[in-house]
Structure 1
């Protein structure tokens, strides 16, 4: 909206209200004078007659009407000028105060925004590390399951010798009896359970990190939106100063 036009409309509204009130007050003053006739002698404006003036009181309003009207008009015009200046100064002062408040909030938002960005970056790095840890645990679990499967196969075949791959680069050989293989399977099974537990904990922690990231991201968006609104308010105040200048 046109700020200058809105201010002028406000000034006109107040001016019309004041003028109407003063007109009403002027009419009341005139009515009071008219309702209080007086005995008057030698007044040309009242067509006085020395022979009959003592018989009939006269309405003395014609003597003062012109002066009352001029006084009311002068007062209305003076009040218009003073009221317009007062309104414009008041609006500027209000806007200045609000802008100062918003500038303080904006500074706090910028500081908070910077902290949010740092916190988000830290959380995202932690989330990446957490995800990498989960993948490592999955790889370990997969390798252990493969080793257990190989041991079980050897036990089933009653083989006295097993060869299995630990990874793509290392091979492990050894004379292994069924009892030894079974004990190894038991140990690996416990290790697998421990890895599963670690994966569960890591998954829970990862989910918490993702939730924190989501919350902080949404909060950052709200802060950015508010920061833009504050900037618009600052611009509006500057525009208002220019239009009222």
Structure 2
């Protein structure tokens, strides 16, 4: 399912310090956004606000298509939004159990659930480790498990907080496969990263938190093209 969420006048402050004030922004449907900014500007805080994990100091988040249930129970508007931390919390159990957790109450048969779980593990290259305890996995493998657990829920919006930090090339490529699949289903992604990689290459636009507010810039492809032109121009002037 594809959804769109919008925010109006959201701000976050800690005592007298204003972390950011953002007049308006929107996500979806089928957005891919690269969220940039220096350390401490509030990227993680913004993602947590958008996922409903924390409340902003002021402002509101809404969905133009929200149902009457979501109006009565505001938390429901976040049920299709998943926040994926760079050091995700994983349960004390097997790899299989961790991925299965999110669909444990689904009404499908156990056979269908197992097929979904194995498929998710296969996509991240961990199907042979399904019965291993989560504690034996490397950091990159644990991040892949977390991505599989998020993917299997088929979120409408996936917020990825530094998902590629300390990951090897294979792990990043596995995350890209799942991210691409979600985009093909109409989902939206917001990705933070301190450097460009195969995941940020999926993004079609970028947000930049700077000077306590957020600006949206053109397509990353255009930015890359302009950067390449700048490099060529600089090189020609140096000769």
Q: TM-score range by the shorter chain?
A: under 0.3
Q: Quick one: higher RCO (CA 8 Å, sep 6+), 1 or 2?
A: 2
Larger-Rg structure: 1
Structure with higher helix content: 1
User: So what's the TM-score if we normalise by structure 2?
Assistant: 0.19
Structure with higher strand content: 2
User: So what's the TM-score if we normalise by structure 1?
Assistant: 0.19
